[in-house]
Structures are given as structure tokens and as C-alpha cells.
Structure 1
Amino acid sequence: MVDNQLSTMLLYFFGAIVMCGIGMLAVGFFVDINRHFNKWLLALISPVVLAATAASSVLSDRNITNAEFEIGTASGEESAILVWLLRLVTALVLGICIARLISTSQSHESRPRQGGALFAAFLFFYVTNAVLNNIFGIKPVFDQRLIYPALVFLVVYLSRGKGFTPMIDATKWGLLLFCIASVAAIPLFPQAAVQQNYAGVLPSIHIRLWGLGSNPNSIGPLALVLLLLQIYRPFSSRLLQLAGYVVGLIVLVLSQSKTAWFAAIIAIPTLWWGHLLYAAETRGRPRHSAYTLRSFSRPILACLLGLAAVTALAYIFILDPFAKLANDEQVTSLTGRTDIWALAIDTWKQNPLFGYGTSMWDVEFRRLSGMNYAYHAHNQFLQSLSVAGLLGLLGLLVYTFVLFRQAFASNTATRGFSLALFWVIFIRYFTEAPLNMSSIFSGEFVTHLLLFSLVLTRGREPAAIPHAQHDYEPLQNLQWR
């Protein structure tokens, strides 16, 4: 018995040494990659997360054909392949973050002074919504998945001297491929991508597109973000531009996300308004960044014509549509959200200061509450209130105020894009939980990270750096335009 215990201890000891060696080699590998591709390495996080999210929808073997009646079991199960895929992607993201942390700690690169208030507000939001509530809440818990989003935001803050253009381009490419894959999934993986017999507002269309996203209310805003990115910073190829507009509009329309549609009505005119006001101040930028008014008006006109066509069809084929909506139980109850909101408030009352904890809305909580369809509070204010109490709500309000202030300050440099993207997130506050920090594998994380990185330096890019300089050399002459 003693010999067996000694053998087991030696096995664990040498196993730990081997794992430490592999970890050190991996860190060295990522540091070396960062030295050669430091401009794009951090920007790869968003496309990698989107790819993992898309793969999860297929590998989980979900069946959302009758999701309206089986929403609690439609998400599928985490197979062994899916679990290891998510672990590998998480390890990749951690490797990128560690490499950037080592790079910033060993370099003397100049960083802009802007961004300190935004990051401090984010830390306050994170501590109140993911740390204190998990210590003093109704159900204390430690979840290592909460660390990864905060680590990514920390690395983006420390790397703010790199500029935001790589993040925008990488996210735009990632969203384009994600939307193309979601449209392709309609004939290839219909059980995982298309909800049948959906009673939506579009005439003669009784399906709802989930695509390769976690749900329609997640993939719809992602398609809107793709459209905004293409308007703000178009692809150099007209074919790619056309493909992006087509798949973006298909996903946005077929997702039947009313919140995304309303956000589009606010965000696109905001971007148009910003372009009219500030285009003259950005004429010194490359041609592909300064979108002419003539070119800009084309997608706006297409969206308006499409909206007019849908409205006309609704009045032609639906008798008395307003009376139908008024009597629709889904509309009057906001698709069941009122019951979820009531549950969130009742749960918050049990611990008003710190809330329940981030384990609220997990499988066990949904089973005990009898709401298998409630994956979050479907309202960001109530989400913070129920999960983190009054302190969490305070953290959310402070962070939202600072985020809006920085987005507005960046509006000139981004020609309206920062404020338009802020509206996409803020409008979702009232029906979704777009600032949920429980995981990096979500479209909400990608959109939040994009806005954070964009407004961190108020939309200003660093001046060109000589080719001979890199992360590990002093950048004493770095200036900002």
C-alpha cells in the first residue's frame, strides 16, 4: 500500500514537472510569435472566439427546430470534442494574453494617457458584478471562466498604444465569415440553425434563424455590427462588400430580433450623422477609411427600401396588424420576459446588497425556478441587480456613464462609429444582458471588446513607427495625431 502511494506521488510529481515544462515552452512560443506579429496577435482573439462559438453550435448537436416549446433542452450537450475544443481555444487566448503581458512589461513603449478612467470604471464594474457577489452573495462560488474576460480587457488596456485598426479589421473579417457560415448552415445544418413554426412579424416567413450563434437575439446584433463595420471601414474588394451586405441583411432580417432592428434604426442614422459632421476632419486618412457620401448612401437606401417593402407586405397580407400585435400573448408579455423580470426582482430581495451570485441562471437555478428558458435576466439592469445586488447595479451605472462619455468623445475621430456601436449595446440593455462577463464565448463579449478597444484611446491611432523598432525597444518619440 505504501509503495503504491509512493508511486502515485512520484507520478504526480513528474507529471507536474512535465506540464510546467510544456507550459514554459508554450509561453516562449507565444512570446516569439508576438515579437513577429505583435500588430495582429491580440486582434485575433475576436475571430477565434467567433469560430469557437460557431463550432459549439454544430458540435453540441443542438436541435432548435421546436425551440419555442423546447427551449430548455434545445441547446444540446457538451460533447468531449466540444469541451476539448473550448479548452484549446481558451489556452490559445491565454497564451496571447500572457505573451502581450510579458511584452508590455519588458518594453518601454509609450502609451496614451487616455483610457485610465474607462479602465477604472470597467474594473469597478467587474469587481462588483463578478467578484464581491461571488463572495458575499446568496450562493458563493468560484468560477475560473470569469477570469478570462477580465484578463483580455486588461491586456487590451495595456496594449492601447498599438491602435485600434487591427482589432476592427480582424473583427470585421471574423463577423463576415461567421455570417456566411450562419447562412450556409440553413441547408447544411437546419436542425442546429433554423427554428421552425415561428410566429414572427414577417409575413409568410415562419422560421427564425439562429445560425451558428447562441440564439437569434445574439446573432442579429452581430449582423448589425458587421454592417456598421462595413460602412465605417469598407472592404477593398467590391465583391466582399456586396457579400457582406447580403449575408448581413439576411441574418439581421431572418433572426427576427426586434431589439436588433430597433438598434439598426438608431445606430445607422447615428453613423450617417457622424459621417456628415466629421468626414472633413478625417480627409487626411487613407481613401478606404474616408467613405464618400455617395457610396455611404447606397446601403442606407437599400435598408430603407427593404424596410418599406417589409412594411408594405405586412399591411397587404396581414389584416389589422396592430390589433393582432395587441392581442399577441408573446408581445404583451415581451416573449415571457415579464415573468423572468419578476423572478429577478424576487431573488434580489433576498440579498439586496450583493445579490445571488454569478451562478444565478445556471442549470440548477433554472430547474428549481421552473424556467428552463431563462439563461439570464433579459435586462442588463435587472441582471446586475439580481446577480450582484445594489453594488452591482451601481457598478453598471458608473461603467455605462463612462463608456458613453468616452464613446461620445471618440465620435469625431471615428466619424460616428463609436457612438453608433454604443447604441447597439445600450439598446440591448432593456431586453438582453450584453455585458454578461460569464464567458468569452459569446457575441456579446466580441461586441463589448470592440467598443472598449475603440474608445480606449478615443479613436486616435498612433503615428507611424519606424520599421526597425518593435515591442522591446524604447518608443520615446511616439506621438498622437
Structure 2
Amino acid sequence: MIRQSNGFLYWLFPAMLALAALEVLLSNRDLTQAFIQLEREAEGALDVTRNPIMVWVQRGVSVLLIAASLERIASHFAQGRVVPSMALTGSFLLFWLTTVLAPGLLGAHPVVTHEYAYSLLFGLAATLSGPMDRERILLVSRNGLFVFMLAGIVLVPWNPALVLDSSYSQGLLPGVPRFGGLAMHPVMMGMLSQSALLLLWARPFQRRWLTVCAWMLGLGVLFFAQSKTAWLAFMISACCMVLVRRAPDSVERLGDPRANSFGVLLLLGVICLLVAVLVGVLVFDVPGMLNDFLGSSEGAQLTSLTGRDRIWIVALEEWHNHPVFGYGPTIWDAEYRQAIAMPNATHGHNQMIDTLARCGTVGAIGLVCYAVVLMVLAVRFARATRGLSLAMFLTLALQSISEVPLLLVGYGADVFTHLLLVVTLAGAAAEQRRTRVAAEPIEPVLRTAS
């Protein structure tokens, strides 16, 4: 029997976090001046030369990525193992071809570099993950995320401007600094903390006190990152986790006369919710308060998603000008942002709109096909993963409203949750295939004597 190679693909996930953290540490950034720095960068007045240490560290991570991915792909087929999910692997290939290679070659501003191959290798290796690969990657990623968050908190008294944005005024917590930690942006910090909490829920630590401390750390970081998208995504993902894990048991308990107290408590909860809604409408005039808020400057920022609607208009105009293969990979670079006078528009702030502008209609078709496959597989394996696959998919879907979590140009912390979902789905598909093969009856072969 051929021994299955475990490889070292799981090291890539903490390596991505370490690379992102080191980038911030060596940049000596000031989060309170982030917008001004983007503006000066777009104007060419700011030197954006990277630290020489970062250049060599990134080269090392790139070598690790290539070696780990090729090892996983080669060992998978050398051992005669089947692809866990042809739909997942095929749709990922289609997505990469239509959103990376096609606009790089055929876009209005074509650019092709060796860095585009990294996401292809990493993604293909992720689609070949088995159950053991999945467990290692999820556990190492969970640990890495909490170390990443804790390191950002430790830096607060030492260099608060590096990890806190005290000038943030567009949140729902006026006067409270926004925590960015060692992520490139507080929004990214919110996304990563949400992913960490989902992993902690699915794979808690062996020591209970450590799990409790991790929950406090993750929720605190999620709260102070002040990302409305991350807050909403986590609430919906948490509800999904509860429903997948508890709904079947809850239905059985509702029909069980020995557990009628559960039904009484559920009914009481529904009554309290209805009473709260009536009190809010009749006594506190919640609809009127909501109208007043939406008419304020804060409400206007919320309804326009803090100015992202202007970026969407520009992106859709680019799609209109280049409808087939889009503008190309260099959209939203410093030169382009200076041309449109939007220094903070580092991407399209919506997955579909960004894909249309960057990759055209061809890329949008690839995105839709890939998203549909991810959704179907996330639902199919929701019970097998105890809600993790569906929660992670919903996380990415909600983030796609105002961010671009499925962007495959290069590698980094921004593709962390995306590839974790791919690994989770591939591992569940491989486990299901293995269970199905083991359950098939073996028919004896009768041989007649000559």
C-alpha cells in the first residue's frame, strides 16, 4: 500500500500572515495618515520603495509556495488518488483563466507577470486537499490568526499609530479608535478576525480556558476593527452555524413531549420578540428615528457604503468602455487612481463590479460559474463540516458586496478565507468519496475449476 504524503502545504497559511505582519512592521505606517499617504502615493510624491528585507522574505515565501504546491499536486497524482471534486477544480481553473490570464493577455492594458502563476498553483493544490490536509490547515490557520491578532494588540502601547486609527469618524462608535492591527487595513482585520472565530467554533482548543480567552480576543478585535461588513457577516455566519448544528435536534425536541420545556421557551422568546417590535414602533417611534438617521451625514455615509458608490460608477464606466476582457490587471494602481482623482480606490469595492471593470464580461461569467459551484458544494457539505463550509461561503458572499475577497492576483492575507473555503470543500468531498467507496459491497468473484 502506497503511503500518502502529507506534504507541507499547511505552512503556506501562517506564512501569508507572517508576510503581511512583517510588511506592516517594516513600513512604519501611521494609520491616522492612511488616506493622505494614499493620496501622496497616487500623486507620486511618496516613495513606495519596499524594505530590502521584505523583498527577500517574499522571495522565500514564493519559493515555499511553489515547492509546497508542486509537491501536493505531484504526490496526489503519483499516488493514484482521484480529484476530490472535479466541479471544484474545474471551476477554479475556469475562474483563474477568465479573471487572471485572459485580462492579463487580452485586456485593454495587458500585463503578464510570473506572480500570476502563484494563485494558480496554490489554488490547484488547495482543491486537491484531503481530510488530513484539511485538518492540519484549519488548525494551523486558527493558531496563526490568533497569534496575528494578539501581536497587533501587544503593539498598541508601544506604537499605537501603527495599529490604531484614532482619526476614524465614519463608524458607529464615535471617538473610539479603529483597530487595524498588523493587517493592511482595519477592514481586512475584521475579515481575518471573523474567519478566526469561525475556525475556533469549528475547531476549539483542547484546553477550555484557552478557547474562552480566544473567543474574548477574537470578538474584541472584531468589535474594534469597526467593519460593518464583518459585523454583519459574522452575525449571519454565526446564525448559520447554529442552525446547521442545532436545527435537526431542535425540531425533534419540539415534537418530544418529554422536552416540552424547550417548546415553551421557544414560544416565549417569539412572544418577547414581537412585544419588543411593537414597543419600538408604538412607543419609541423607531421608523421615525431611522428616517432621521438616514437623513444625517452618518446615515448618508451608510446608505452610500461610505462613498463606494462613486467608485462603482467609475468601474462600470470602464466595463462599458472595455466590455469583453475589461481594463486589465493594472486598474486601481497609483497611476489610475490619480487619473480618476480617487486615491483611496485601491479596488472596485464590490466583487462583481470589480471583476467587470478588471476582467470584462468574460471574467464575470467565470466568477458566476465559480461562485455557483462554491455555493452548491458549501450547502452540500454543510452537515459534514458542521456548518463551517456554509458559514465561510456566506462570509465571502457578504464581503463581496463591498470588498473583493475572491481576487486572485498574487497571494496574501486577502485570499486567506477564500482558500480556506476551498480546502474545506475539497476535504469534505474527499471524505465523502472515501466513505462511499468503503460502503460499496464487495461481490465475490467465483471461479470455476477447469
TM-score range, shorter chain: 0.7 to 0.9
Of 152, 166, 179, 1:182 maps to 152
Relative to structure 1, the CA distance from residue 168 to residue 327 in structure 2 (aligned partners, 3 Å threshold; closer, same or farther) is same
Deviation at 1:46? 0.7
| Structure 2 match to 1:289 | none
| Structure 2 match to 1:391 | 362
Relative to structure 1, the CA distance from residue 441 to residue 168 in structure 2 (aligned partners, 3 Å threshold; closer, same or farther) is same
1:326 aligns with 2:295: yes
Of 363, 373, 376, 2:334 maps to 363
Deviations 1:74-93 (A, max 9, x none): 89652111122111111122
**Counterpart mapping for 1:26-41 below 5 A:** 38-39=5-6, 41=8
Other structure's SS at 1:187 match = coil
Relative to structure 1, the CA distance from residue 219 to residue 266 in structure 2 (aligned partners, 3 Å threshold; closer, same or farther) is same
Other structure's SS at 1:458 match = helix
Of 257, 274, 289, 2:227 maps to 257
In the aligned structure 2, how far is the partner of 1:393 from the partner of 1:68?
30
In the aligned structure 2, how far is the partner of 1:337 from the partner of 1:277?
37
Of 368, 378, 396, 2:349 maps to 378
1:336 aligns with 2:307: yes
Which amino acid in 2 is paired with 1:326? Answer: G
Which amino acid in 1 is paired with 2:23? Answer: S
Would the aligned equivalents of 1:326 and 1:332 in 2 still touch at CA under 8 Å? no
Deviation at 1:105? 4.1
Of 54, 66, 83, 2:33 maps to 66
Deviations 1:94-133 (A, max 9, x none): 121232233234323x33x541011111111111101111
In the aligned structure 1, how far is the partner of 2:430 from the partner of 2:205?
21
| Structure 2 match to 1:454 | 424
Deviations 1:374-424 (A, max 9, x none): 110000000110001011111111111110000000011011111111110
Which amino acid in 2 is paired with 1:153? Answer: G
Deviations 1:18-59 (A, max 9, x none): xxxxxxxxxxxxxxxxx9994361111111111111111111
Deviations 1:232-256 (A, max 9, x none): 1111012321221122111101111
Of 93, 108, 115, 2:65 maps to 93
Deviations 1:183-242 (A, max 9, x none): 222223322211112114444543111111111111101111111111111110123212
| Structure 2 match to 1:107 | 79
Deviation at 1:334? 1.8
Of 92, 114, 118, 1:144 maps to 114
Other structure's SS at 1:276 match = helix
Relative to structure 1, the CA distance from residue 325 to residue 79 in structure 2 (aligned partners, 3 Å threshold; closer, same or farther) is farther
| Structure 1 match to 2:238 | 268
In the aligned structure 2, how far is the partner of 1:133 from the partner of 1:80?
31
Deviation at 1:170? 1.2
Would the aligned equivalents of 1:209 and 1:256 in 2 still touch at CA under 8 Å? yes
In the aligned structure 2, how far is the partner of 1:478 from the partner of 1:55?
45
1:430 aligns with 2:401: yes
Deviation at 1:453? 1.0
Relative to structure 1, the CA distance from residue 174 to residue 278 in structure 2 (aligned partners, 3 Å threshold; closer, same or farther) is farther
| Structure 1 match to 2:323 | 352
Would the aligned equivalents of 1:140 and 1:357 in 2 still touch at CA under 8 Å? yes
| Structure 1 match to 2:161 | 191
Would the aligned equivalents of 2:99 and 2:366 in 1 still touch at CA under 8 Å? yes
1:231 aligns with 2:201: yes
Relative to structure 1, the CA distance from residue 203 to residue 103 in structure 2 (aligned partners, 3 Å threshold; closer, same or farther) is closer
| Structure 2 match to 1:216 | 186
Which amino acid in 2 is paired with 1:241? Answer: T
How many residues matched?
Answer: 396
In the aligned structure 2, how far is the partner of 1:225 from the partner of 1:50?
13
Deviation at 1:157? 2.5
**TM-score computed with the length of structure 2 as normaliser:** 0.81
In the aligned structure 2, how far is the partner of 1:67 from the partner of 1:227?
27
Of 385, 402, 406, 2:373 maps to 402
1:54 aligns with 2:26: no
Deviation at 1:324? 4.3
In the aligned structure 2, how far is the partner of 1:450 from the partner of 1:275?
20
Relative to structure 1, the CA distance from residue 325 to residue 73 in structure 2 (aligned partners, 3 Å threshold; closer, same or farther) is farther
Other structure's SS at 1:349 match = helix
Structure 2 segments unaligned to the other structure (5+ residues) = 251-283, 441-450
In the aligned structure 2, how far is the partner of 1:255 from the partner of 1:322?
27
Of 73, 78, 81, 2:50 maps to 78
In the aligned structure 2, how far is the partner of 1:208 from the partner of 1:480?
53
**TM-score computed with the length of structure 1 as normaliser:** 0.76
- Over the aligned positions, Cα root-mean-square deviation in angstroms equals 2.9
Relative to structure 1, the CA distance from residue 117 to residue 235 in structure 2 (aligned partners, 3 Å threshold; closer, same or farther) is same
In the aligned structure 2, how far is the partner of 1:37 from the partner of 1:52?
30
| Structure 1 match to 2:264 | none
Other structure's SS at 1:372 match = coil
Other structure's SS at 2:409 match = coil
Deviation at 1:432? 0.4
Deviations 1:142-174 (A, max 9, x none): 122221011011122334364521111111111
Relative to structure 1, the CA distance from residue 193 to residue 73 in structure 2 (aligned partners, 3 Å threshold; closer, same or farther) is farther
In the aligned structure 2, how far is the partner of 1:265 from the partner of 1:92?
36
Identical amino acids, percent of aligned pairs: 30
